[in-house]
Amino acid sequence: MHLPRVRQGVGATGGAERWAGMATAPQLRPTLWRPHRLLVTRASMGFAHGRAIAERAAALGVEVVLLPGDRLALDLPDDPRRAYAQAKSTLAVVVAPPSKRKLQPIAPSADWRVDLAEGCPAHCGYCYLAGSLKGPPITRVYANLDEILDGLPAYLGQGSVTSRNRDRAQEGTTFEASCYTDPLALEPITSALSATIAWFGRWDAPVQLRFTTKFAGVDPLLGLDHQRRTRMRASINPSAFARFEGGTDRVAARLAALARMAAAGYPVGLTIAPIIAAEGWRDAYGSLIADAAAALSTVPGIDLTIELITHRFTAGSKAVLDNWYPGSSLDMGSTNRTTKRTKFGSEKQVYDAATMRMLRDFFAERIAALLPQAGVLYWT
């Protein structure tokens, strides 16, 4: 049992505690996020998972507001900075409608995207959610988790990313839970990820739940009967870029957490993302890969994959991020960039061909040298 040790200053962006009792160095103790306020829609209280979240939040001292209906009345201040901070520190429990429970493909990560929540309490200066989710950046977690999970067997054997891909078919039918949230960030208050991992453990079929995270609070996951049907990946970037990842756990803590998960029998992975070609990137990413190799070297027979995602942005996400993080030093200019048109007709800014080639060659060489046991799933 872990006891609260130091209560961090509760700022405008939500409370966080670091917990004692873990066999980890003090600087590696995970952040356990808690919202300032939990809004619970009326319909959510009709689900055991929704009620459990409300009870857990109340026990943690979070202000719980039971709404009279299903509309989220946010009542945010006019000032954009304060509105952002208040939205980021608010968690809402809502019911995922049938349209949200209809799964979408999510190449190149997985056959299907399964959302346990939408939104994230962290403050990453490049967050792709800025271009994906509309409105204030409040996090919504779904109360009808059982309905969401009960819908998954209909997708078994479907999908083209892993199920019908000769190179990745051994992964089975894959379900990605980190597209619109960081599920581990919310785990202390929702327990949704634990329930989902256990559910996949009971699903006796060639399937895989996948999640990637910038957090390290894996304690609740270590003892689950996962049956190796969940792959956790640590989303990592050099510490030189930590200023772009506000509110997340340190990279060393993420790697230590990943090693603990691997030791508990989970397949694991590294999501190196977003790869940023800023000055000094060779040294920075060289050290990152060496740190990852050192952290994971102690786990015999580790099942390790790597996903490599270069930095990209759209005009829409840039506008939102410029508004959320004014003065950020993250480069979203036009140097070394080219416009790529997606199959949906939208445009994004990616690194130009020469920069991509340089980056790709570098990662291929370093990974082969330092993490030869890892399978690289994709580069994008």
Q: Which residues bind ligand SF4 (CB under 6 A)?
A: 120, 122, 124, 127, 129, 182, 214, 248
What length does the chain have?
A: 380
Count how many Cα atoms sit within 13 Å of the Cα of residue 153 in the half-sphere of its side chain: 8
Closer CB to ligand SF4, 49 or 254, in the complex: 254
User: Is 251 in contact with 242 (CB distance < 8 Å)?
Assistant: yes
**Rg of the chain's alpha carbons, rounded to an integer?**
20
Calpha distance 50→64 (Å, rounded): 12
| Least distance between ligand SF4 and beta carbon 200 (Å) | 21
Closer CB to ligand SF4, 159 or 247, in the complex: 247
Closer CB to ligand SF4, 126 or 351, in the complex: 126
| Least distance between ligand SF4 and beta carbon 123 (Å) | 6
Closer CB to ligand SF4, 127 or 299, in the complex: 127
| Least distance between ligand SF4 and beta carbon 43 (Å) | 26
Calpha distance 216→358 (Å, rounded): 31
User: Is 373 in contact with 302 (CB distance < 8 Å)?
Assistant: yes
| Least distance between ligand SF4 and beta carbon 247 (Å) | 7
| Least distance between ligand SF4 and beta carbon 59 (Å) | 25
Number of H helices, E strands in the chain: 12, 20
| Least distance between ligand SF4 and beta carbon 121 (Å) | 7
Closer CB to ligand SF4, 179 or 261, in the complex: 179
Closest to 44 in 3D by CA, of 96, 99, 88: 96
| Least distance between ligand SF4 and beta carbon 61 (Å) | 24
Closer CB to ligand SF4, 200 or 324, in the complex: 324
- 202 CB-contact burial (10 Å; exposed 0-12 / middle 13-18 / buried 19+): exposed
| Least distance between ligand SF4 and beta carbon 240 (Å) | 17
Q: Could you give the C-alpha distances from 284 to 178, 216, 332, 362, in angstroms and in order?
A: 25, 21, 19, 12
- DSSP SS3 for 378: strand
Calpha distance 27→30 (Å, rounded): 8
Closer CB to ligand SF4, 43 or 278, in the complex: 278
Closer CB to ligand SF4, 155 or 215, in the complex: 215
In SS3 terms, 186-220 reads as HHHHHCHHHHHHHHHHHCCCCEEEEEEECCCCCHH
Peptide bond into 183 cis (omega under 30): no
